[in-house]
Structure 1
Amino acid sequence: MRIVLLGNTGSGKSASGNTILNQDLFDVKHSPGSVTVNCNKQQANVDGHNISVIDCPGLFDTRDQSKEILQTATGKCMKLSYPGPHAFLLVMKLGVKFTEEEKNVMKWIQEIFGEDAINYTIILFTHADVLKGKPVETYISKSNELKQLIKTCWGRYHSFNNESINNRDQVTELLQMIHKMYFFNGGKHYALQMYK
């Protein structure tokens, strides 16, 4: 299974990759700038399944860069996930303001990866510990924009507490969601020919 992590700098992409793979393979640092500057792929056997995770630089780190640089980074992401990812995980940090950029993130993902990318996207909320035991739906219900974003992704979302790396149930539930999405998409991964 091939999983591509997308999201803002500091959203918890690398930590989520480590949680999924149950190993510290991606560099995780608390920094105001992006720790991940290039697409990076790591693999591990998780519950008897070979899982590849591709960690991409922060989505909006590229706003001052040319479209050519952005396309090069996107091309590398797709090359690392060849023949195509089973899921794009849009990683979003709980407990922070929903930004203008995040409101338009699905449009951006479709422009870069193609219209069909939306059918392969799950929103992954990180830092679930800030909910203090409340369900993530309580957080979601407070934002119409967030509810709309989730609706755009066919209602697919999940939450992680990356501080609780030993909680393998959160990973099992995510992988089950990816499997359901795979069958929803006709038993096909996102194909490179779908990519613009």
Structure 2
Amino acid sequence: MGASSKDVERELTPFSGVVRTVVLFGRTGNGKSATGNSILGTKAFKSRRSSAGVTSTCELKRTVTSDGQTINVIDTPGLFDSSVESEFISKEIARCVDLAKDGIHAVLVVLSVRTRFTKEEEAAILSLQTIFGSKITDYMVVVFTGGDELEENEETLESYLGGGGCPEPLKNILNLCRNRRVLFDNKTNDKTKKAEQVRELLSVVNMVIAQNGGQPYTHDWFTELKRLRLSHQKEFESLEGKRKMEISELKENMERSYDDKLKRITEMVELKLTQTTTRLQQQLVEEQAARLKVENNLASAQSKTAELDEKKADKSWCAIL
């Protein structure tokens, strides 16, 4: 592929902190989602054999490799299948660009060794140049799936491509990609094999980054979407600021309302206490007056009784005499 792993590592050093974004393109059934899952090391994308295609829209998933590389993987539906309408393609390409945000570090064109490479497939891949511009080929890497089938037939990718049966359209695509290609076995359960094929792919991706001066692929669309995103962000922050002011005002109003309610409750309690105290004092005055009246009546009665007793005593003495 034109460079050894050591060369790639030396070339990569200045870009070791880069978050790499790779996009998977290819025909339905070639194993895009399965390849994405192999890169991620988990079943993040839906993947199964289906003639209709499982992925219905662009999706982004992220992983961090054991050596600290952060990889964004964008899976796409079969954008260039013959049954797909141009409106759907346009919509999903825009979504893909939006997900990629700051650019694409590698375009992974997924082909399968299980199926013949057709003129239609060549035209679909060349459509990428029409949509993204000719420079996109500087970022393209071909990923062949079906490595398990080649292994069963005791065949290598080199022998598969080097034989007389390699179609001319496929040779043209490989030439556009400067022969950057890797083989994937997405069915293997061998962890060492899984790790090795992902490591090989990332080495090629790192080489692409180095060859492009560390700059991801961008287009006018990226700039426009970024401008819109920033504009929306400012609007959002403005709304957030307004919302914070509204929340602050609401909080102040609530606190003021609470203070008013607390004050009213305090006043009501004070009024009730005053009314109760007044009533108790009035009752005490009334009780004291009643008790005094009783005492006066009792004293008056006792006085009258004493007078009567004195009169009776006087009469008795008179009778004796």
Same fold (TM over 0.5): yes
What's the CA shift for 1:46? 1.5
Q: What stretches of structure 2 of length at least 5 have no aligned partner?
A: 1-19, 224-321
Distance 2:118 2:56 in 1: 22
What's the CA shift for 1:59? 2.8
* Higher relative contact order structure (alpha carbons within 8 Å, sequence separation ≥ 6): 1
| Correspondences of 1:55-66 after superposition (within 5 Å) | 55-61=75-81, 63-66=83-86
What's the CA shift for 1:194? 7.5
Report the counterpart of residue 78 of structure 1 in structure 2. Answer: 97
Distance 2:83 2:127 in 1: 11
What's the CA shift for 1:62? 6.2
Report the counterpart of residue 108 of structure 1 in structure 2. Answer: 127
TM-score, normalization by structure 2: 0.58
Number of aligned residues: 195
What's the CA shift for 1:145? 2.5
What's the CA shift for 1:176? 0.6
Does residue 1:138 correspond to 2:139, yes or no? no
Does residue 1:159 correspond to 2:186, yes or no? no
Q: 1:195 and 1:80, CA in 2 relative to 1: closer, same or farther beyond 3 A? A: closer
Q: What stretches of structure 1 of length at least 5 have no aligned partner?
A: none
Q: 1:179 and 1:154, CA in 2 relative to 1: closer, same or farther beyond 3 A? A: same
| Residues 131-189 of structure 1, C-alpha deviations (whole Å, 9 max, x = no match) | 12422011112313322210111111111000125220000010010001111112111
SS at match of 2:72: strand
Of the structure 1 ranges 74-83 and 107-116, higher mean CA displacement relative to structure 2 is found in 107-116
What's the CA shift for 1:115? 1.6
Distance 1:105 1:155 in 2: 19
Does residue 1:10 correspond to 2:37, yes or no? no
TM-score, normalization by structure 1: 0.93
Report the counterpart of residue 106 of structure 2 in structure 1. Answer: 87
Report the counterpart of residue 176 of structure 1 in structure 2. Answer: 203
Aligned-residue Cα RMSD (Å) equals 1.8
Q: 2:137 aligns with which of 111, 115, 118?
A: 118
Which AA in structure 2 matches 1:101? E
Larger Rg belongs to? 2
What's the CA shift for 1:111? 1.1
